[in-house]
Structure 1
Amino acid sequence: MTSPPEAAAPPDHYTGEVYVTPRHLAGTTGTGDAGLRPALDAGWETSDDDLGNFCIAAPDHRIRIGYLPEGDDDALWKIAAYEQHSFAAPRWAAAFSDSCPDEVVAAFTTGLVPLHDTDGNAFLRGGIGYRRDASPVLAPLLDAGWTVDERHWLVEVRSPDALAGAWYDRRTLDPDRELTSNATRWGIWGGKTRGRWYAVFSSHTPTPLITATAAAVADPAPVVRWAGGLSTITRRHATITRVRPPAPTPLELARAHRPSPVLRTVTVPRWSTSTPSARLPGPSRPPARR
Structure 2
Amino acid sequence: MSARNAYEPYLYQEVLVSPLYLAGSDGTGDAGFAPVAHWPHHHLDDGPCQHLVTSPDQRIRIGWFGDDFELWKITAAEDAVSAPRWMATFNHVTPAEIVAGLTTALAHDYAEADSYDANARFLTNPSRLWPEAIRPLTDAGWTRDAAERGTVEFSSPDGQAGVLIDNRRSSWDARTVELWAGPPGWATRAEAVFTTRTPSHLIAATAAAMADSAPVIRERHQVHREMEHLVTLTPVGSASPQTSQIPQPSRSPTPLDVRRTAVTQAVHRATRAPRTAAALRVMAARSRTASSTRTGAPSPVPTAMPLLSPSAPRRSR
- Mark yes or no: TM-score above 0.5: yes
| Structure 2 equivalent of residue 96 of structure 1 | 90
Q: Does 1:127 align with 2:126?
A: yes
Mark the runs of 5 or more structure 2 residues left unpaired by the alignment. Answer: 1-9, 239-248, 253-302, 313-317
Q: CA deviation at 1:175?
A: 2.8
The one-letter code of the counterpart of 1:283 is: S
Q: Does 1:281 align with 2:310?
A: no
Number of aligned residues? 234
Mark the runs of 5 or more structure 1 residues left unpaired by the alignment. Answer: 1-12, 179-183, 250-276
Deviation digits for residues 235-262 of structure 1, max 9, x if unmatched? Answer: 121111111178769xxxxxxxxxxxxx
1-structure distance, mates of 2:215, 2:251: 23
Q: 1:45 to 1:15 in 2, by over 3 A?
A: closer
| Structure 1 equivalent of residue 195 of structure 2 | 202
- Counterpart mapping for 1:216-235 below 5 A: 216-235=209-228
Q: CA deviation at 1:56?
A: 1.2
Q: CA deviation at 1:285?
A: 4.2
- Counterpart mapping for 1:66-81 below 5 A: 66-70=63-67, 73-81=68-76
2-structure distance, mates of 1:175, 1:47: 29
TM-score by length of 1: 0.74
Deviation digits for residues 43-102 of structure 1, max 9, x if unmatched? Answer: 3342422367001121211111101103xx41100011111223x321000000011011
| Structure 1 equivalent of residue 102 of structure 2 | 108
The one-letter code of the counterpart of 1:134 is: W
- 1:185 touches 1:201 (CA, 8 Å); kept in 2? yes
1-structure distance, mates of 2:83, 2:163: 26
2-structure distance, mates of 1:18, 1:279: 24
1-structure distance, mates of 2:197, 2:311: 28
Q: CA deviation at 1:150?
A: 5.4
The one-letter code of the counterpart of 2:182 is: G
Q: Does 1:186 align with 2:191?
A: no
Which of 29, 32, 35 is the equivalent residue of 1:32?
A: 29
Larger radius of gyration, structure 1 or 2? 1
Q: Does 1:140 align with 2:133?
A: no
Q: 1:248 to 1:198 in 2, by over 3 A?
A: closer
| Structure 1 equivalent of residue 287 of structure 2 | none
Aligned with 2:193: secondary structure? strand
Which is worse superposed, 55-64 or 92-101?
55-64
Q: 1:54 to 1:237 in 2, by over 3 A?
A: same
Aligned with 1:34: secondary structure? helix
1-structure distance, mates of 2:11, 2:33: 29
The one-letter code of the counterpart of 1:284 is: P
List structure 1 runs of 4+ shifted beyond 4 angstroms.
245-249
Larger RCO (CA within 8 A; separation ≥ 6): 1
| Structure 2 equivalent of residue 10 of structure 1 | none
